Amino acid sequence: MTVIPLGVPRRLLEFTIDGAPVRAPEGSTILDACRAAGKDVPTLCQGDTLAPKNACRVCVVEVEGARTLVPACSREAEPGMEVRTDTERARHSRKVVLELLASSVDLSTTPRVAGWIKEYEAKPDRFGPDAARLNEEPRVDNELYVRDYDKCILCYKCVDACGNQWQNTFAISVAGRGFDARIAVEHDAPLTDSACVYCGNCIEVCPTGALSFKSEFDMRAAGTWDESAQTETTTVCAYCGVGCNLTLHVQDNEIVKVTSPHDNPVTHGNLCIKGRFGYQHVQNRD
């Protein structure tokens, strides 16, 4: 959900989406307008709390007069634009992007992607059994969260969340180039040797589950993770006076992870180590 602050009233732009006239406030992206018009454009790297990086290219649409396709998540709407979201050309690129991704990384914990693969008739297997894959081992080097880069689509969200967009800790970055590019701390050291302060804001924004709570990782490994059996309760963090909202995910009467609502105008889904991970005392029943 995008929170549009109710500031100075914005001018409405008029343009068309799939032939139908639409109006959107100045500064909206094509994606905002598509969603307002009830169109479902797939997105992976777009983050509701982050500036769009437009790296995955799964949201591409056709804009009349543009030489290439245009990422809906980041291109601002302009008056008179003629946008087409569902052309053969746009569908082709989305299909191939899904194939390229699904053939190189593990998307099994990426929400919605299975549906898009079906919808676009993507066949990730067609690059053959020898197609290069990431093949990374999960990195379990601390008690709080696990980095499983085999699932990483390199959307840059965690880098932006840890860096200048939210956390300002700059513990992680993209290192290397091309297919060898990976999220890493300096000299690819363990997280415990880095600047990480374990706020978990990177986990909050990761779209694929490449970053996950150690609790979730362990339960998945044990086969006990069951989202359908979980309840979510949003409450206020009890640690300090800021009043951050916490959403407790509870399964079998145990807190299994903590997220935070993105539409909170103060925290936008960000927490600190205590709010995010400091829940064991709550369920210490000895």
Partner 1 sequence: MDLHFGDSKPTDDERAAVDALLGPPESSWEGAARDEMRAADLRWARGGREARERRDLLLPGLHAINDRIGWISEGALAYLCRRLTVPPAEAYGVATFYAMFSVKPRPATVLHVCTDLACAAAGAAGLCAGIEARLGLGSGVSVERSPCLGLCERAPAALAITAGEPVRTAVSAPATVEAAVLAASAPDSADEEPPAATAVPQAGQPGLTLLSRVGVVDPTSLDDYRAHGGYTALRRAFELGPAGVIREVTDSGLVGRGGAAFPTGRKWQATASQPDHPHYVVCNADESEPGTFKDRVIMEGDPFALVEAMTIAAYATGAHQGHLYLRGEYPRAMRRLEHALAQARARGLLGDDVLGQGYAFDIEIRRGAGAYICGEETALFNSIEGYRGEPRSKPPFPVEKGLFGKPTVENNVETLVNVLPILTMGAPAYAAIGTGRSTGPKLFCVSGSVDRPGIYELPFGATLGDLLTLAGVRDRLRAVLLGGAAGGFVRPDELDIPLTFEGTREAGTTLGSGVVMAFDDTVPLPRLLLRIAEFFRDESCGQCVPCRVGTVRQEEALHRIVERTGADAAGDIVLLREVGRAMRDASICGLGQTAWNAVESAIDRLGAYE
What is the footprint of ligand SF4 within residues 155-184 (CB under 6 A)?
Answer: 155-158, 161-162, 167, 169, 171-172, 183
- Bridge partners (DSSP) listed for residue 145: 213
* One of 28, 46, 49, 215 touching ligand FES (CB under 6 A): 46
* One of 68, 231, 253, 284 touching partner 1 (CB under 8 A): 68
Task: Determine if 17 is a binding residue for ligand SF4 (CB under 6 A).
Answer: no
Q: Which does 68 bind (CB under 5 to 8 A by kind): ligand SF4, ligand FES, partner 1, none?
A: partner 1
- 3-state per-residue secondary structure call for the chain: CCCCCCCCCCCEEEEEECCEEEEEECCCEHHHHHHHCCCCCCCCCCCCCCCCCCCCCCCEEEECCCCCCEECCCCECCCCCEEECCCHHHHHHHHHHHHHHHHHCCCCCCCCHHHHHHHCCCCHHHHCCCCCCCCCCCECCCCCEEECHHHCCCCCHHHHHHCCCCCCCCCCEEECCHHHCEEECHHHCCHHHCCCCCCCHHHHHCCCCCEEEHHHHHHHHHCCCCHHHEEEEEEECCCCCCCCEEEEEEECCEEEEEECCCCCCCCCCCCCHHHHHCCHHHHCCC
Q: Which does 202 bind (CB under 5 to 8 A by kind): partner 1, ligand SF4, ligand FES, none?
A: ligand SF4
Task: Determine if 59 is a binding residue for ligand FES (CB under 6 A).
Answer: yes
Torsion of CA 144, 149, 150, 156, to 10 degrees: 130
Give the pair of three-digit tokens for residue 65. Answer: 């007069």
What is the footprint of ligand SF4 within residues 183-202 (CB under 6 A)?
Answer: 183, 196-202
Contact letters for partner 1, residues 178-217 (x by CB under 8 A):
xxxx--xxxxx----xxx-x--------------------
Task: Determine if 206 is a binding residue for ligand FES (CB under 6 A).
Answer: no
* One of 89, 121, 190, 240 touching partner 1 (CB under 8 A): 89
Considering the complex, state which of residue 144 and residue 174 has its C-beta at the smaller distance from partner 1. Answer: 174
Q: Which does 43 bind (CB under 5 to 8 A by kind): ligand FES, partner 1, ligand SF4, none?
A: ligand FES
Q: Which does 13 bind (CB under 5 to 8 A by kind): ligand FES, ligand SF4, partner 1, none?
A: none
Name the site residues for ligand FES (rule: CB under 6 A). 43-46, 54-59, 71, 73
Name the site residues for partner 1 (rule: CB under 8 A). 54-58, 60, 68-69, 71, 74, 89, 92-93, 95-97, 100-101, 103-104, 126-128, 130-132, 153-154, 156, 163, 168-181, 184-188, 193-195, 197
